[in-house]
């Protein structure tokens, strides 16, 4: 029987209804989190170089293996590292980089987007903000994330008040807190993420976000240390003659290796890492409500398994301040020396390191005295102020770096003196420059 106009209209309406109900049923069959999750992207950065700093690149290689295992595609992971330890002349196991004693080789497959002198602050910021035209060296890959995507950023290196280092140039090419937070704000304004999680391993890493990161950007951060303390290295390997990892970093990664990332929350992981990182204060910044989300939403959810251990965790037993790694390494190498001549060599290196550190302390004490006078010098050395006068701090830090032969991890720990001098209203930037000029031309003769 042919359909009339009314019957045809009813048939169309019923068809639409069935299709709609089918779509609703399908949507309810899918987990809500998965439907809204978007795509995973990641940026992994090791900001140091040389075999003495083995642990930073080792940490980042381990992080890559975690993301790779959990299904984050290589074309959505961007890596920045100097790439000088796997084949280092000091590495007895060429082509191998491990993150704990007796651990697996994490080097195979790591991406080499920005290596060597291409591992720069400018390239890191360009990667974050999706500006390929602003990169130099490397392969030009940058984040291509969208407003529904999850972005994970992990950074491991040395730091100081308001700065972290990248390995180009002198070995500490500084990235400042104001520029990093500016880039994160730009990412949010450009719609480059739904949510972003940032894990940072560095001394004084809290100073990169404390009082600077807004809490309404859908960004969640944890750091290895508060704004005024060192982070810690661990897992010294006598066969390799170096520290293999950093405490905060190995704690979050070993926890991720052991847990079901699709059930563990960021808050649960933070609590575990904070408990096990016993020598520094692991901190949270940004939009803390995000810590209710699952770890797997950021490191990838594929291949997740039920927790594979009994829940017990032990803090690494051999944690040492990152500022003191050179001292401990030389002492350990002297202890493990096979011959008297080798032992004497490392004892000599240890003595020279003590002398060098004493010279650095003397330089900053003299700068404080020359700039602020004897009466205020101790306060300029001992206080821990946050950076407000970025112009002064950037200028005097650059002057010190050029005149006094650059930075190392111990010198970075003294930069709070420059911060304090810049924040002292009655000192002035000119006085700090004059003090640096007075001290450093005579430093080598001291």
Candidate list 56, 70, 158, 399, residue with the active-site label: 158
User: CB neighbours of 418 closer than 8 A, spacing ≥ 6?
Assistant: 367, 393, 396, 397, 400, 432
User: CB neighbours of 206 closer than 8 A, spacing ≥ 6?
Assistant: 223, 225, 226, 227, 228, 281, 283, 285
Q: How far apart are CA 91 and CA 69, in angstroms?
A: 26
What secondary structure does DSSP assign to 137-169, as a single string?
STT-------TT-EEEEEEES-EETTEEEESST
Q: What residues pair up with 195 in beta bridges, in sequence order?
A: 150
| CB 244, CB 55: distance < 8 Å | yes
| CB 362, CB 446: distance < 8 Å | yes
Q: How far apart are CA 301 and CA 125, in angstroms?
A: 27
Q: How far apart are CA 302 and CA 321, in angstroms?
A: 36
Is 158 one of the annotated active-site residues of the chain? yes
User: CB neighbours of 304 closer than 8 A, spacing ≥ 6?
Assistant: 70, 260, 261, 262, 296
> SS3 of 200, please?
strand
Candidate list 165, 172, 203, 392, residue with the active-site label: 203
Buried b (16+ CB within 10 A) or exposed e, 333-343: bbeeeeeeeee
Which residues participate in catalysis according to the annotation? 158, 203
């Amino acid at each position: 029987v042919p359909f009339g106009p009314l019957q045809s209209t009813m048939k169309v309406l019923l068809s639409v209804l069935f299709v709609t109900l089918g779509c609703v049923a399908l949507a309810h069959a899918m987990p809500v989190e998965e439907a809204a999750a978007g795509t995973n992207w990641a940026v992994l950065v090791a900001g140091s170089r040389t075999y003495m700093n083995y642990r930073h690149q080792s940490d980042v290689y381990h992080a890559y293996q975690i993301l790779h295992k959990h299904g984050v595609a290589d074309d959505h992971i961007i890596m920045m590292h100097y790439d000088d330890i796997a084949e280092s002349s000091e590495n007895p196991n060429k082509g191998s980089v491990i993150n704990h004693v007796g651990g697996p080789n994490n080097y195979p497959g790591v991406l080499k987007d920005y290596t060597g002198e291409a591992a720069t602050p400018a390239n890191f910021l360009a990667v974050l903000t999706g500006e390929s035209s602003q990169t130099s060296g490397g392969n030009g890959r940058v984040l291509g994330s969208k407003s529904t995507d999850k972005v994970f950023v992990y950074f491991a290196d040395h730091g100081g008040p308001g700065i972290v280092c990248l390995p180009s140039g002198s070995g500490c090419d500084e990235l400042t807190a104001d520029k990093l937070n500016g880039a994160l704000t730009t990412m949010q304004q450009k719609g480059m993420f739904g949510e972003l999680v940032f894990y940072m391993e560095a001394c004084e890493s809290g100073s990169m976000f404390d009082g600077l990161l807004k809490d309404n950007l859908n960004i969640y951060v944890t750091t290895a240390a508060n704004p005024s303390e060192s982070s810690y290295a661990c897992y010294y390997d006598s066969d390799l003659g170096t520290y293999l990892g950093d405490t905060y970093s190995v704690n979050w990664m070993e926890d991720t290796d052991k847990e079901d990332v699709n059930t563990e929350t960021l808050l649960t992981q933070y609590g575990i890492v904070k408990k096990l990182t016993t020598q520094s204060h692991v901190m949270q910044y940004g939009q803390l409500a995000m810590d209710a989300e699952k770890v797997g939403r950021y490191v990838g959810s594929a291949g997740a398994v039920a927790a594979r251990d009994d829940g017990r965790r032990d803090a690494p037993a051999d944690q040492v301040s990152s500022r003191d790694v050179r001292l401990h390494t030389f002492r350990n190498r002297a202890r493990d020396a096979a011959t008297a001549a080798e032992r004497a060599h490392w004892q000599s290196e240890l003595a020279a390191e003590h002398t060098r550190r004493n010279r650095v302390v003397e330089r900053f004490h003299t700068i404080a005295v020359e700039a602020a006078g004897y009466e205020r010098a101790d306060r300029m050395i001992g206080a821990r102020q946050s950076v407000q006068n970025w112009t002064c701090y950037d200028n005097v830090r650059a002057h010190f770096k050029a005149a006094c032969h650059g930075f190392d991890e111990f010198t970075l720990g003294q930069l709070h003196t420059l911060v304090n001098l810049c924040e002292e209203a009655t000192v002035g930037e000119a006085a700090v420059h004059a003090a640096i000029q007075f001290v450093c031309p005579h430093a080598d003769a001291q």
